């Protein structure tokens, strides 16, 4: 039977199920098929350190999976969303996402669940791309999508990602001296294994236990101890800190902020906002830190503005923006941060995530595409990073299958692009001043 082009892209079926994420908790997977047999699949990740204003991840409650079941979300896809979307043109992403938002009708997607909605949203994009016989990054970004991202690799875990005394949640390396993404991945892997040997030698075998994102969770007590370990690992791997491999941190400061007393409790100290900013200033002076994420409490737009003016580095807003256009607009007006952390599951549809990214880019903000701590083998974010030419991605250590899946997909994308692939290196961090 012959179809015209529009029929070929029509959604023929939508099917959701529960699968496990990297923490052993259930999450939603959805498959979408077009009439022309274009196939799309997406699995939704889950965060541990979540912003207050994130879209709602619908969970069942009760005894099964300790309340974390997603059968309601799966049912919402199969019985409510699917019947309404069948026959729609899979290329009309905004219309499809808009339809689901209308069906949900709540500000935070609490009726159908952001996990239900996002699984369909991403799977539809994959199905449309497959119908065109295009990789997702090229379907979304066209022929101008060729910038490979600098990987920000979380190789020492603290905060909610670990069981140690470190308050800073993530200590990351960025292989800025590489010429290609594949070289950057090799450098990152070498530094990771160098760090493993260093930690085992200094702290013992227990120090090389790993946290949620594949980074090590050593028995460290303070921030400089972790940063010094990274510097040693970089040097031991044969690279120069700052030139070949830079550092970054994700403070997730809301997690160690005492709201009642307006104090940050870190490294055995109780610090005011001003003293916290002074601490960051000293760290940036002492170490080659190119990026700091969520340095202050998620509601402190004024403080974010001050620290953005003060520090000569990239300041990423995650919990403060939660990939939400309205909160990002407020940040732009106040000049709070100079980079957006893009997490599609914070907002719940591909359309809204891309809108936030475009708003950030058009206002001079950098964009860092990010995973979550509860991840899966889904590689959509690898494609989004290249599609938007963001030049930066955060997807964990070069270890654990759910993390390496993203890196391995980027290797395939780089190979697909061939000589057109561009690796920006330190240039990706346009707000960083040496």
Residue 394, annotated ligand binder?
A: yes
Start-to-end CA distance of the chain, whole Å, equals: 63
The DSSP code sequence of 219-245 is ---SHHHHHHHHHHHHHHTT--BTTTB
pLDDT in tens, the chain (434 residues): 444 556 999 999 999 999 999 999 999 999 999 999 999 999 999 976 555 688 999 999 999 999 999 999 999 999 999 999 999 999 999 999 999 999 999 999 999 999 999 999 999 999 999 999 999 999 999 999 999 999 999 999 998 767 788 999 999 999 999 999 999 999 999 999 999 999 999 999 989 998 889 999 999 999 999 999 999 999 999 999 999 999 999 999 999 999 999 999 999 999 999 999 999 999 999 999 999 999 999 999 999 999 999 999 999 999 999 999 999 999 999 999 999 999 999 999 999 999 999 999 999 999 999 999 899 999 999 999 999 999 999 999 999 999 999 999 999 999 999 999 999 999 999 999 97
- Determine the Cα–Cα distance for residues 118 and 346; give it in Å rounded to an integer: 10
The DSSP code sequence of 304-342 is HHHHHHH-SSEEEESTTTTT-HHHHHHHHHHT--SEEEE
Residue 53, annotated ligand binder?
A: no
Query: What is the chain's length?
Result: 434
Helix/strand/coil for 166: coil
Residue with tokens 């708003």: 359
Active site residues: 213, 343
Contact assessment for residue 337 and residue 306, using Cβ atoms and an 8 Å cutoff: no
Helix/strand/coil for 193: helix
Closest CA to 300 of 270, 347, 337, 275: 337
Residue 245: Cβ-neighbour burial (10 angstroms; 0-12, 13-18, 19+): buried
- Domains defined along the chain, listed by start: 10-133 (3.30.390.10), 150-428 (3.20.20.120)
Tokens coding 116: 């239900």
How are beta strands 366-370 and 150-157 bridged, if at all?
Answer: unpaired
pTM for the whole structure: 0.96
Dihedral pair phi/psi, residue 170, rounded to 5°: -140, 135
Alpha carbons within 13 angstroms on the beta-carbon side of residue 434 total 6
Residue 170, annotated ligand binder?
A: yes
Contact assessment for residue 247 and residue 289, using Cβ atoms and an 8 Å cutoff: yes
Residue 371, annotated ligand binder?
A: yes
Residue 261, annotated ligand binder?
A: no
Residue 318, annotated ligand binder?
A: yes
């Amino acid at each position: 039977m012959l179809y015209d082009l529009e029929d070929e892209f029509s959604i023929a079926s939508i099917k959701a199920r529960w699968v496990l994420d990297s923490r052993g908790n259930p999450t939603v997977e959805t498959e979408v098929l077009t009439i022309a047999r274009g196939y799309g699949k997406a699995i939704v990740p889950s965060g541990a350190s979540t912003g207050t204003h994130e879209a709602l991840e619908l969970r069942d409650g009760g005894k099964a999976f300790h309340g974390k079941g997603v059968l309601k979300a799966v049912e919402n896809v199969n019985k409510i969303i699917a019947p309404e979307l069948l026959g729609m043109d899979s290329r009309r992403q905004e219309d499809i996402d808009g339809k689901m938002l209308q069906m949900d009708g709540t500000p935070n997607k609490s009726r159908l669940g952001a996990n239900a909605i996002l699984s369909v949203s991403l799977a539809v994009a994959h199905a449309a791309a497959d119908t065109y016989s295009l990789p997702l990054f090229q379907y979304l970004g066209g022929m101008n999508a060729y910038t490979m991202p600098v990987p920000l690799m979380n190789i020492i875990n603290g905060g909610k990602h670990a069981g140690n005394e470190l308050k800073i949640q993530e200590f990351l390396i960025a292989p800025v001296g590489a010429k290609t993404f594949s070289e950057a991945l090799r450098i990152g892997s070498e530094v990771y294994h160098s760090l493993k040997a260093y930690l085992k030698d200094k702290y013992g075998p227990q120090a090389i236990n790993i946290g949620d994102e594949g980074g090590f969770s050593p028995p460290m007590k303070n921030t400089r101890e972790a940063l010094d370990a990274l510097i040693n690992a970089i040097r031991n791997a044969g690279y120069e800190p700052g030139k070949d491999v830079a550092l970054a941190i994700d403070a997730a400061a809301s997690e160690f902020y005492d709201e009642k007393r307006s104090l940050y409790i870190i490294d055995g100290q109780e610090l005011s906002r001003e003293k916290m900013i002074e601490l960051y200033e000293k760290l940036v002076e002492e170490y080659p830190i190119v990026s700091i994420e969520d340095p202050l409490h998620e509601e402190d737009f004024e403080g974010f503005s001050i620290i953005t003016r003060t520090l000569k580095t990239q300041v990423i807003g995650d919990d403060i923006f939660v990939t939400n256009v309205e909160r990002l607009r407020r940040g732009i007006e106040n000049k709070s941060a100079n980079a957006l952390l893009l997490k599609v599951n914070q907002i719940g549809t591909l359309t809204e995530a891309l809108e936030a990214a475009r708003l950030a880019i058009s206002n001079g903000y950098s964009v860092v595409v990010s995973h979550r701590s509860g991840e899966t083998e889904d590689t959509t974010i690898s494609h989004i990073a290249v599609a938007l030419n963001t030049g930066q991605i955060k997807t964990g250590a070069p270890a654990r299958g759910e993390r390496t899946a993203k890196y391995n997909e980027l290797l395939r994308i780089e190979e697909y692009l061939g000589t057109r692939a561009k690796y920006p290196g330190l240039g990706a961090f346009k707000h960083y001043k040496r």
